[in-house]
Amino acid sequence: MSVEVTKLDSGLRIVTDSMPQLRTASLGVFVGAGSRNERAQEHGLSHLLEHMAFKGTRRRSARQIAEEIESAGGDLNAETSVEQTAYFARVLGEDCELALDILSDILTDSQFDPAELEREKSVILQEIGAVEDAPDDLVFDLFTETAWPDQPIGRPILGTRERVRAFDRNAIDLYLRSHYQASATIVAAAGAVEHGRIVELADRLFAPLGKGEFPAAPPALYRGGEVLTKKNLGQTHIVVGFEGRAAHDADHDAAHVFAAATGGGMSSRLFQEVREKRGLAYSIYAFHWAYSDAGLMGFYAGTSPADAGSLMAAALDCLAKASHSLSEEEIDRAKAQMKVSLLAALESSGARAQQLARHILVYGRPLTTEEMVARIDRLTVEDIRKAGAKMLRSAPTVTAIGRVRKVLDQNRVAKRLGGI
C-alpha cells in the first residue's frame, strides 16, 4: 500500500500517498477548525484567517509569497468549511520543500498587517454581498441556520458584516492560539512525494504550532423549521431537508446512496419526474451532507412561483415512494456513481491529498480503496430504503426565497410524508 502515516510527538499527523506515475505533488495543511468551532463573537474568523494567510509573514511579503511559488510553476489556495480550514500547494515533486516552507510560514508566522487586514475585511464584506445577491446560495445559508438554529454548525461560514468589521489582531491571535494546535493539524501530500522526506520537513517546519489541547466543537442538535423569504424574483428557490446521518453512523453510507438514487443524476427519480416529465424545474437535485456528529439530507429546486406547490408535492411524493420502492437497478446506478466519484480521487494528487486528510480527521486513519468500495457494495436495497424512510420521518426544514405564496410550509410537508 502506498499510503503511509506518521504521528509526531507534537501530535502533528503526516499522511502521504506516493503516486510514481506523477511528476507533480499536491500538499495540504488541514486544520480541524472550521466555522462550527467558533464562539458567537468569533463567527467568521476561520474564514478571515484563510483570507489573511497569504498576506505576508516576517520573511515574505504577500508579493514574495506569490512570486516564489509561481516562479516554481506552482500555485497556492485555501478554503474554509464547517469542520476544517485547509491550505494547499501544487508544485513539481522536486519543489515540495519550497511548498511546505511557504505553507508553514503563512500558518506559523503571518504578520496580519493592519492595513492588509482592513482591505481583506472589505473583500469579505463584498463576498457576503455576493451571496446575498445569489438566492440559490443564500437559500442554503437559511437552510442550515433553520435546521440547526442558534448553533455554530448552522451559521454561514462567511460570518456577518458586523462581526467581520469588529475583528482585530487580538481576536485573530486568541483564535490561533486556541485552535491551530499540532494535534488538530494534518499535513497531507500525494503525487511525486517521498514519505520520509515529507515527515522530516514537517517535523522541522511546523515545530512552532501549539501543542495544547484542542477545544471540541459544541454538539449539533437538529431542530428543523421554516423560513420563507419574500423577494420579487423570477424564480422561487426552495430547499427542503431532514435530519441526515453523521459520518460515524451505521447507516451513513445507506443515507448517501438514498440521496444519490433519488436525486443524484439525470436518471434519478427527482430529475425524471419533476424536470423531464412535468417540466417544473430547470435545476433539481438531492444531497446528503455528513459531519462528525450530524447530517442533513434534502433537495434543492428552482421553479416558477406559480409552480412551487406543485413541484414540492411531486418531489415529496417521489421521496416517499422511493423509501419503499427503490429498485435494485436504481440503487446499482447510484452505487456506481459513488464508486466512480471515490475512485476518481486516485487519479488526482490534489483530490487524493484532500481525501486522505478527511479520512484521518473523521475516522482517525486513511481508508483503503477496497474498504471504501466494500462499504458501498455491501448495502442492500432494504438498508437504503430504511435509511431513507427514517430520515423522511424527522422534522422537515423548509427554506425558500422569492415569491413564496405557494410554497408548502413545514406542517404541509410533514403531512405529505405522514404515511411513511
Exposed e or buried b per residue across 403-417, where buried means at least 16 C-beta atoms within 10 angstroms of its C-beta: bbebbbebebbbebb
At residue 215 the predicted structure's pLDDT band, cuts being 50, 70 and 90, is confident
Q: CA separation (Å) from 295 to 67, 319, 404?
A: 41, 18, 26
Domain 3-205 belongs in CATH node 3.30.70.100: no
Cell of 42: 468569533
Q: What's residue 216's pLDDT?
A: 86
At residue 21 the predicted structure's pLDDT band, cuts being 50, 70 and 90, is very high
Q: What mean pLDDT comes out for the span 254-277?
A: 96
Q: Which amino acid is at 322?
A: A
**Which one, of 157, 197, 183, 192, lies nearest residue 50 by Cα?**
157
Assign 3-class secondary structure to 16-39: EEECCCCCEEEEEEEECCCHHHCC
Q: What is the pLDDT of residues 293-337, one digit of tens each?
A: 999 999 999 999 999 999 999 999 999 999 999 999 999 999 999
Q: What's residue 28's pLDDT?
A: 97
Q: What is the pLDDT of residues 172-204, one digit of tens each?
A: 999 999 999 999 999 999 999 999 999 999 999
Q: What is the pLDDT of residues 121-143, one digit of tens each?
A: 999 999 999 999 999 999 999 99
Beta-bridge partner residues of 210: 181
- Give the percent of the chain with pLDDT over 70: 100
What is the rounded average pLDDT for all residues in the chain? 95
Q: What angle do CA 59, 63, 69 make, to 5 degrees?
A: 80
Q: What's residue 1's pLDDT?
A: 57
Q: What mean pLDDT comes out for the span 36-62?
A: 95
Q: What's residue 213's pLDDT?
A: 82
For residues 214 and 360, which has the higher predicted lDDT (pLDDT)? 360
Q: What is the pLDDT of residues 364-381, one digit of tens each?
A: 999 999 999 999 999 999
Q: Which CATH architecture has domain 225-416?
A: 2-Layer Sandwich (3.30)
Cβ contacts of residue 371 below 8 Å, gap of 6+?
none
Residue 185: is it exposed, middle or buried by C-beta count within 10 angstroms (0-12/13-18/19+)? buried
Q: What's residue 344's pLDDT?
A: 86
Q: What is the pLDDT of residues 148-168, one digit of tens each?
A: 999 999 999 999 999 999 999
pTM: 0.93
| Beta strands at 3-7 and 295-303: parallel, antiparallel or unpaired | unpaired
What are the boundaries of each domain within the chain?
3-205, 225-416
Residue 343 has pLDDT above 80, yes or no: yes
d(CA 32, CA 79): 12
Question: Could you confirm whether 50 is annotated as catalytic?
Answer: yes
Compute φ and ψ for 67, nearest 5 degrees: -70, -40
Catalytic annotation, pick one of 4, 38, 42, 50: 50
